[in-house]
Structure 1
């Protein structure tokens, strides 16, 4: 769920008339804004497919069948593939050119979306979601490099002034749009429409990209991707998450616990290999991650913060969607409307933290995590008081407070985490941070989902689902307590701007 920093004119207005300049620099050409629209489309497609799929997951299970575990996998499979793929996605742009890689990734994402829409079973859908996340990881990292190639160093601020608000509005509209598409049942497609909508959007974006994106030669031609590193990272994150999602249903066999520890060991081996590659131990193969950044305590603490904060967010969204739809009988659209206070107030929280960040630094993260945790505790108290008589109105105020705190964390979190990273390490540090963000989402869905569905058991009544959400949200609060604690490891202030 994205946040925004300040209101800005919509992209359509910018396309009709390039923004006036107050200095002597010439106005940015229309074709540059059209190329930028392709970059925004790629980011919005990813964001919407994440938020929409979470909203529609209970409806998908009701149609295709499967256990409650399938609800977790519909979201977690996408984010897991994205987490691993992001480690290599940016490197592909360096090797083969950002325009080419973005268009290939967008074509793959569009095709994978069609496969999701045509899936005859939950297993087929989960497999298609893995493919969608993998090609999404090829597409997404090219965006910021293409923005620089489109606008140059001087014009990037104008692009980002549009990018943030558009992503913020997409986060607000995503659950509502997804719910509306499912409820409208266009041409009898039901939930499949949330994936089919990517087909015309993707085709139009690819056509525009071929015309308006700059074809800049690759910055590092002739390099090689280290396939063993990708294999280690992929197996490691899968081995950690898979037992957490499947273990409850299988009765927590001994191998499930062993697999978690094996996954952690494989991730350690991944780190060792990155050190070997950084020392030039394998010819032209460059490490996927610069191991020197992991020697900075503040940065490592930031990675833990991201896992805990994003994990709380992902688990919270899962618990609310399942309770409202499977438990209380809300339609996907009603569920999106019932929880819209979260992204709306997140925008206000992000604006507030933007104002406070320079003066308070990491304290804004402390305030944000404490506010979000307080909001979830109030949600929990409402659940205990209302039980099966719970209504969306009774949740509105505590969810608004939760969203405000969430927005306060988003703006400063990445700036403060990267404050102690050297300029030469920023590329690798940013890429790993994005990957860990997706891993945190999968972990939160797995851990909170395990508690949620363990309490639900074989129950079907509204009271059972409300009680299960009560327990699950307290786990999300625990994630936030850990995030609050580890924030002390971060630098006091963000990197100076400019």
Structure 2
């Protein structure tokens, strides 16, 4: 990102950059780490949790989907709450509530209570996370914006390295007899530290023209998301009854109704939950489509691959976490590589998608050739390539998508973008998890390797669709911003 970005005339006399902006960024990134860890840990822990608490295959899917779906339906509102009541205040409330939700997860005594506690985590995470992007847009001058957003890449990479390993190690170590519960208890000191540091370093930040809450919009978006994900997860358990297909069809209708309602609210002078002007920005609309498909593929793949290594290959939770190290290290390397070729803009993102597709096909080839005797070491090359591609894709993603967002659109844009990311994750877990469990159900000796191969073909197809949707993005991160001004 260059320092000589053209800005509107009204921003010539911008105030000086916030003094503690880098410390504040560290607090924001700490919150991202908590979210990333909790979004991933149940992928590793779900077989152990199911063995202790009981439940069905759908329980495994709901452990991830309940968190991401509740976060998705709350994120747009979370951004609006920051605009109205202050981003610092809502960040602190979200961090505190997320910590309490983690405690509830740790003490849950049934699958239903644990899934409910995951919903609590997701809702408060939805209050916490969107405040970060809004504060970064205010704290950092244009010349430092790229570096600030660029920090998300290494943090995501390191979290993806440490998360599965940490989860597997904590479960295997069984500290104080806590077993899988420690993966949630560890959030307590992290959450407390985020609250204390947030009180010290986060700036007061809110929209100069705060908008009212759009409660009907929240209800419509929530219903639409639930109507889509619930039948995908639960329909398989009940033999795909008619109601499951009716619900999925109804979700399309409700999503369309949501769009119509938001547009009408804007035309009549109201305060829509999602600002319609965002969808006139090519970077933003293209980013939503690209993010939805991509995060669906990745979230679903991670769940199914961890199930395959533990249930199909007999790996322990720690070994299942360790086998993902090449992916995570590749992701860190991909982020670093992306910085050196950042001038190519959208091509970097699309190149990352193609590299990921090759890596995914490499995993498929490894499983096909090695069969049931496949070792963790044999996965290393393909997973490393997949990780490099993911790093190349993720590094420029947020900067490209948010390039043309105006200050008054920040809350809605950051909330909507992150909500679509989470909705994609919930959809991917539901869809690919259902494909996997459908293929292995009904026999004493299920072909787990065959089911994994089918899932990998689906993931490869979704990645190629991501490549196509990325053509909707502008070629350069700041292209649209310059054109708009």
| Cα distance in 2 between the residues matched to 1:267 and 1:27 | 40
Would the aligned equivalents of 1:106 and 1:139 in 2 still touch at CA under 8 Å?
yes
Residue of structure 1 equivalent to 2:389 = 405
Q: How many residues align?
A: 467
For residue 367 of structure 2, the aligned residue among 337, 362, 383 is: 383
Residue of structure 1 equivalent to 2:44 = 55
Q: 238-247 or 405-414: which moved more?
A: 405-414
Residue of structure 1 equivalent to 2:199 = 210
Residue of structure 1 equivalent to 2:301 = 316
Q: In structure 2, do the counterparts of structure 1 residues 219 and 293 end up closer, same or farther at CA, with 3 Å as the change threshold? A: closer
Residue of structure 1 equivalent to 2:330 = 345
Alignment RMSD, CA only? 2.7
Report SS of the residue matched to 2:55.
coil
| Cα distance in 1 between the residues matched to 2:147 and 2:264 | 41
**For each residue in 1:112-169, what CA deviation from the matched residue of structure 2 results, as whole angstroms up to 9, or x when unmatched?**
1011111111111111111110000101122234456666778767755655433432
Q: In structure 2, do the counterparts of structure 1 residues 383 and 460 end up closer, same or farther at CA, with 3 Å as the change threshold? A: farther
Spell out the pairing of 1:240-255 with structure 2 (5 A cutoff): 240-255=228-243
Would the aligned equivalents of 2:78 and 2:130 in 1 still touch at CA under 8 Å?
yes
For residue 480 of structure 1, the aligned residue among 444, 456, 463 is: 463
Spell out the pairing of 1:23-102 with structure 2 (5 A cutoff): 35-102=24-91
Would the aligned equivalents of 2:232 and 2:430 in 1 still touch at CA under 8 Å?
yes
| Cα distance in 1 between the residues matched to 2:420 and 2:18 | 35
For residue 358 of structure 1, the aligned residue among 335, 343, 360 is: 343
Report SS of the residue matched to 2:50.
helix
Report SS of the residue matched to 1:432.
helix
Shift of 1:489: 2.7
**For each residue in 1:444-498, what CA deviation from the matched residue of structure 2 results, as whole angstroms up to 9, or x when unmatched?**
111111111111114565x722221111111111111211222233323322599
**For each residue in 1:4-62, what CA deviation from the matched residue of structure 2 results, as whole angstroms up to 9, or x when unmatched?**
x9xxxxxxxxxxxxxxxxxxxx9997x76655543332221111111222221222112
Residue of structure 2 equivalent to 1:22 = none
Residue of structure 2 equivalent to 1:15 = none
Would the aligned equivalents of 2:172 and 2:317 in 1 still touch at CA under 8 Å?
yes
Residue of structure 2 equivalent to 1:190 = 179
Report SS of the residue matched to 1:140.
helix
TM-score of the superposition, structure 1-length normalised?
0.86
Would the aligned equivalents of 2:229 and 2:427 in 1 still touch at CA under 8 Å?
yes
| Cα distance in 2 between the residues matched to 1:288 and 1:128 | 26
Where in structure 1 are there 5+ consecutive unaligned residues?
6-25
Residue of structure 1 equivalent to 2:8 = none
Residue of structure 1 equivalent to 2:11 = none
Would the aligned equivalents of 2:17 and 2:139 in 1 still touch at CA under 8 Å?
no
Spell out the pairing of 1:238-317 with structure 2 (5 A cutoff): 238-282=226-270, 286-296=271-281, 299-317=284-302
Would the aligned equivalents of 2:82 and 2:411 in 1 still touch at CA under 8 Å?
no
Report SS of the residue matched to 1:391.
coil
Report SS of the residue matched to 2:341.
helix
Residue of structure 2 equivalent to 1:10 = none
Q: 96-105 or 418-427: which moved more?
A: 418-427
Would the aligned equivalents of 1:96 and 1:221 in 2 still touch at CA under 8 Å?
no
Would the aligned equivalents of 1:42 and 1:139 in 2 still touch at CA under 8 Å?
yes
| Cα distance in 2 between the residues matched to 1:162 and 1:407 | 12
Shift of 1:320: 0.8
| Cα distance in 1 between the residues matched to 2:196 and 2:285 | 41
Structure showing greater relative contact order (alpha-carbon pairs closer than 8 Å, 6 or more residues apart): 2
| Cα distance in 2 between the residues matched to 1:222 and 1:305 | 29
| Cα distance in 2 between the residues matched to 1:211 and 1:230 | 32
Shift of 1:275: 1.2
TM-score of the superposition, structure 2-length normalised?
0.88
**For each residue in 1:266-306, what CA deviation from the matched residue of structure 2 results, as whole angstroms up to 9, or x when unmatched?**
11111112112212454xxx211111333456643332221
Q: 105-114 or 54-63: which moved more?
A: 54-63
Where in structure 2 are there 5+ consecutive unaligned residues?
2-15
Would the aligned equivalents of 1:375 and 1:402 in 2 still touch at CA under 8 Å?
yes
Shift of 1:373: 1.2
Q: In structure 2, do the counterparts of structure 1 residues 232 and 387 end up closer, same or farther at CA, with 3 Å as the change threshold? A: same
Report SS of the residue matched to 2:356.
helix
Would the aligned equivalents of 2:44 and 2:321 in 1 still touch at CA under 8 Å?
yes
Q: 292-301 or 237-246: which moved more?
A: 292-301
Residue of structure 1 equivalent to 2:4 = none
| Cα distance in 1 between the residues matched to 2:417 and 2:74 | 13
| Cα distance in 2 between the residues matched to 1:425 and 1:204 | 30
Report SS of the residue matched to 1:141.
helix
